Chain A
Amino acid sequence: VLTRDLLLFTLRKGRIRPRFVDRADGALLEAARDLVDIAARAPGEPKKDIDAAMGGRAMIHPRPKVARGLVKLLQDRMEVAEPGDAALELRRAAFAASMAALEAADPDEAFTQHERRLEAALGRPLEEVRAALHADLPDARPVESFEPISAEALIDRYNLALAQGLVLYARRVELEVGRPERPEVRRLLRWMRFCRLVAHVEAGEDGCRLGVEGPAALFEGAKGYGLQLASFLAAVPMLGTWRLEAEVELPRRPAATLELTGADPLASTFSGGSGYVPEEVRAVLERARIPGWTVDLAPAPRTMGATGLAVPDFALVPERGAPLVVELFHRWHRGALERRLEELEASPDPSFRLGVDRALAKDPEVAARIEAHPQAFLFRGFPSARALARLAEAAAAS
């Protein structure tokens, strides 16, 4: 994502608008191509050399801030090699030698004399030691890999990042999507669950309306949550027709309304097809082979209350009988959990199960309500294979 200093927007009369760039802009495309070329050559090279080369190219673009944004997005696609212990070991030896040499120093002696003592103690040329002393700093480490991207896709990614960057400062995001029966909407709702967003889904005549809490509304973990929200936003443009409205509160700026629609130059970077399952979930499901049961990762949303919709995370489907629908609540979901408990009290649904992350159950009030609830269970991160098996066994027994 783009850092705040790289966000370009217009803020006027209470409305905020990203300053989108035109992917047909020749000069920008040329800069993007040059930058992508530099990034593509990065693996094996020290990160700082690549940063310097990209920074130099960005500076000569007529809009250097746009070009620096492209650089940041390319840097995000690079993995830097893990630091080994060689530099750390060298530092330990060098600092010990340096302390000993310093203690032996005469206040009036020249520095070169001290250097000679150091070199003798370390048994290797001082310049060699100096060059390797901090070779494990991130900038000095080599780039290990770069996730390729075309110049055009980079510009699309930039426009999306401008929008994502503003949404990171939102208190609340309202999103109008189509009818939940549409496959794209189902995929988006499912992705929303994987992103663990705090959302309230309502069904209307024209389709679903999602009310998503923004990072600015959270007391803790706002940064991680903001990144999850940015991931979610990357999937929204796949809908084609949609409308988003958010109240954005940038530091030292008046609050403003951001409005985005399917007509904006935003392309989805969501790579997850209809069968996409995050790695952590896939690992659990591979272990959770429950005889007589299958796992449905895209169960249909369920109506809750008058207009509310619950978007289950998954359903355990027996060979015969009604599926067991599971909704998970993570550390940010206290309000949503309380709402769901009230809804279940008002209109019981015996096939519904509530999974509550232990991070959320640290709250004594939440813990007390969960312990007493026959349809709730605890998990950490994602329910384990054993927890899923226990759910199925209990349902079969009852």
Chain B
Amino acid sequence: MDALWRILARHAKDRVLVFTEDNETVYRISRRFLLPALTHKTRPQERKELLDAFSAGTLRVLVTAKVLNEGVDVPEANVGVVLSGSGSVREHVQRLGRILRKREGKAATLYEVVSDVAAEAGISERRRQHEAYVRAGGEPPC
């Protein structure tokens, strides 16, 4: 949570997507930071409202689990934060795509917040071997 706060404060003027592994964590973060949450439980009208506001810049942070992994385009996002993600390379490449899409030459940053547990750090390292991460450029993951 402390790492997430530092990232949010550092990117206060950017459009940030925070990805978590499950809905429970989405709502935990939403409550702690008072940030908009987007999950499959979000009612369609509110979902549209949140995405429109994110697109317009009135909301600059969205916290989501898997609902944004496929089928939703958020070209305005330029910072992604993955909190303790799973080992699925596909999901993470899609997450990268969410924040890199549409804008040619757009600089984007993807953070991955991992705990000290060796296994989680190993998974993160494995993911970063994927060519999409090499192509993605931007700032190196912290």
Chain A residues with CB under 8 Å of chain B are 83, 88, 91, 94-99, 102-103, 105-109, 111, 114, 118, 129-130, 133-134, 137-138
Contacts and interface: CB of A to CB of B under 8 A. Distances in A.
Nearest to B58: A99
A134 B38 CA distance: 12
B41 A138 contact: yes
A130 B41 CA distance: 18
Contacts of B2: 111
A393 B40 CA distance: 51
A107 B9 contact: yes
B103 interface: no
B44 to A, nearest CB: 13
A88 B27 contact: no
Given A95-B59, A102-B61, A137-B27, A107 B33 contact: no
Nearest to B41: A137
Given A95-B59, A134-B37, A137-B41, A102 B30 contact: no
Interface of B: 1-2, 5-6, 8-10, 12-13, 27, 30-37, 41, 43, 46, 58-61
Nearest to A131: B31
A118 B32 CA distance: 11
B6 A107 contact: yes
B27 A102 contact: no
B61 A91 contact: no
23 contacts: A91-B36, A97-B34, A98-B35, A99-B58, A99-B60, A99-B61, A105-B8, A106-B9, A107-B9, A107-B10, A109-B9, A111-B2, A111-B5, A114-B5, A118-B34, A130-B31, A130-B34, A133-B31, A133-B34, A134-B27, A134-B31, A134-B37, A138-B41
A388 B85 CA distance: 60
Given A102-B61, A137-B27, 13 more contacts: A83-B43, A95-B34, A98-B33, A98-B35, A102-B8, A102-B12, A107-B6, A109-B9, A118-B34, A130-B31, A133-B30, A134-B27, A134-B37
Nearest to A105: B9
Contact of A99 (B31, B32, B59): B59
Contacts, number: 55
B13 to A, nearest CB: 7
Main DSSP-derived SS at the A contact region:
helix
Given A91-B36, A95-B34, A134-B30, A103 B41 contact: no
Contacts of B1: 111
A49 B100 CA distance: 41
Contacts of A97: 34
A123 to B, nearest CB: 14
A133 B60 CA distance: 18
Contacts of A107: 6, 9-10, 12
B14 to A, nearest CB: 10
Contacts of A103: 12-13
Contacts of B60: 99, 102
A102 B27 CA distance: 19
A246 B10 CA distance: 61
Nearest to A110: B5
A188 to B, nearest CB: 38
Contacts of B34: 94-95, 97-98, 118, 129-130, 133
A95 B9 CA distance: 15
B16 to A, nearest CB: 10
Nearest to B37: A134
Contacts of B10: 107
Contacts of B13: 103
A222 B98 CA distance: 32
Nearest to A108: B9
Question: What are the 9 A-B residue pairs with the smallest beta carbon separation, nearest first?
Answer: A98-B34, A130-B31, A94-B34, A111-B5, A105-B9, A107-B9, A107-B10, A102-B12, A95-B36
